[in-house]
Amino acid sequence: MKKAVCFLFALSLLVLCACDKTTDETSLRFSVNSIGNYVVEDGSIYVPLEDGTLAYAFLPTGDAADEIVPPSSVVVPASFDGKTVTEIFDSAFYAVKDVLERVELPNTIRRIGREAFKDCKNLREVNLPDALTEIDAKAFENCEMLSDVVLPSSLKNLYRLAFRNCKSLKQVTLPCSIGGEEIFAYSGLESLTIADGVDKIGYMTFCEAPLRELTLPSSLKTFDTNVIGNCASLESLTLNDGLEDVDLSYLYTTSVKEVVLPSSVTKLTLQINKDADRIDLYFEGDAPEIDFFLLDSIPSTNDFRETAYVIHYHEGAEGFTSPSWNGIPTEIW
DSSP code string of 284-313? SSSPPEEEEEPPTT-S-GGGTHHHHEEEEE
> Is 181 within 8 Å of 208 (Cβ atoms)?
no
**Which residues is 260 bridged to in the sheet?**
282
- Weakest-pLDDT range from 3-17, 98-112, 251-265: 3-17
CA 289 to chain centre: 31
- Weakest-pLDDT range from 242-246, 284-288, 291-295: 291-295
Q: What residue spans in the chain does CATH classification 3.80.10.10 cover?
A: 1-155
pLDDT value of position 27: 29
- Weakest-pLDDT range from 4-13, 27-36, 121-130, 254-263: 27-36
Q: Measured between alpha carbons, how far is 65 from 276 in angstroms, rounded to an integer? A: 58
Q: Has residue 329 got a pLDDT over 60?
A: yes
The pLDDT confidence band at residue 129, using thresholds 50, 70 and 90, is very high
The pLDDT confidence band at residue 301, using thresholds 50, 70 and 90, is low
Summarised one tens digit per residue, pLDDT across range 185-195 is 999 999 999 99
pTM of the prediction? 0.83
Burial grade of 299 (CB within 10 A; 0-12, 13-18, 19 or more): exposed
CA distances from 322 to 87, 190, 287, 311 (A): 61, 39, 12, 10
- Weakest-pLDDT range from 46-60, 106-120, 141-155: 46-60
Mean pLDDT of 125-154: 96
Q: Measured between alpha carbons, how far is 98 from 191 in angstroms, rounded to an integer? A: 28
- Residue 25 DSSP one-character state: H
> Is 207 within 8 Å of 229 (Cβ atoms)?
yes
Domain 1-155: CATH superfamily is Ribonuclease Inhibitor (3.80.10.10)
Q: Measured between alpha carbons, how far is 117 from 121 in angstroms, rounded to an integer? A: 9
